[in-house]
Amino acid sequence: NAGVTQTPKFQVLKTGQSMTLQCAQDMNHEYMSWYRQDPGMGLRLIHYSVGAGITDQGEVPNGYNVSRSTTEDFPLRLLSAAPSQTSVYFCASSYAAGSYEQYFGPGTRLTVT
Amino acid sequence: DQQVKQNSPSLSVQEGRISILNCDYTNSMFDYFLWYKKYPAEGPTFLISISSIKDKNEDGRFTVFLNKSAKHLSLHIVPSQPGDSAVYFCAAPRGNTDKLIFGTGTRLQVFP
């Protein structure tokens, strides 16, 4: 199993550009989520999904969109990048809602200039 | 409002000694806690967890203690090894959901 994979590893965007961060898992996990990590702030939940076709907002959803058309994939879209979105983004998955223990991908480091 | 707090940003411990990482929480409704370990340029990995019905959970060199009355948990690593050098996050699920709330992390350095 590859576990949770994320692409790209690094990305530089200009303000106003859009892009999609990719996340995939091969563990047949129902629950997937996106976090961002900023210095001194821990990890904060952006969006999550409890299964294909179902998504919901986390703590810091503004400026991001998600969709979940398959169990395996959970892309995160930045609609119009802003410097405040400079961060490290982690995708995570767990077997099902309520299993709590989440498996994280290696992260995408995004810089918005 | 930081519901899960790790007040020590860093900790330095000699190899072979005990490392104690602390975490405080404000929400008495939290009933499950997790510790994650993170190496640079990698994602966090699950380390150990504890349910609020217990006050201790042990897994090899790692033990987590929960003091519900003080709203405090701690992670003990005995003996500490250089490979334990990483950032440690405590986390709790919000309500009856999988929305994890993370602390800000403690960077542990274990030196020879």
Question: Tens of pLDDT along A5-31?
Answer: 999 999 999 999 999 999 999 999 999
pLDDT at res. B98: 78
Residue of A nearest to B107 (CA): A40
Residues 82-111 of A with CB under 8 A from B: 90, 92, 94, 97-107
Q: Is B56 strand, coil or helix?
A: strand
Mean pLDDT across B47-75: 97
Burial of A93 (0-12, 13-18, 19+ CB in 10 A): buried
CA pair distance B48, B86, nearest whole angstrom? 15
Q: Smallest Cα–Cα separation from B47: which of A40, A99, A97, A102? A: A102
Q: Do A43 and B89 touch (CB under 8 A)?
A: yes
What is the H or E stretch that residue B62 is in?
strand B62-67
Q: What is the DSSP letter of A100?
A: -
Residue A99 has pLDDT above 80, yes or no: no
Nearest CB to B49 within list A100, A103, A105: A100
Give residue-wise pLDDT tens across range B11-51: 999 999 999 999 999 988 898 999 999 999 999 999 999 99
Nearest CB to B103 within list A42, A50, A58: A42
Percent of chain B past pLDDT 90, that is, above it, reads 88
Is the CB of B103 inside 8 Å of chain A's CB atoms? yes
CA pair distance B112, B100, nearest whole angstrom? 34
Residue A1 has pLDDT above 90, yes or no: no
pLDDT at res. A21: 98
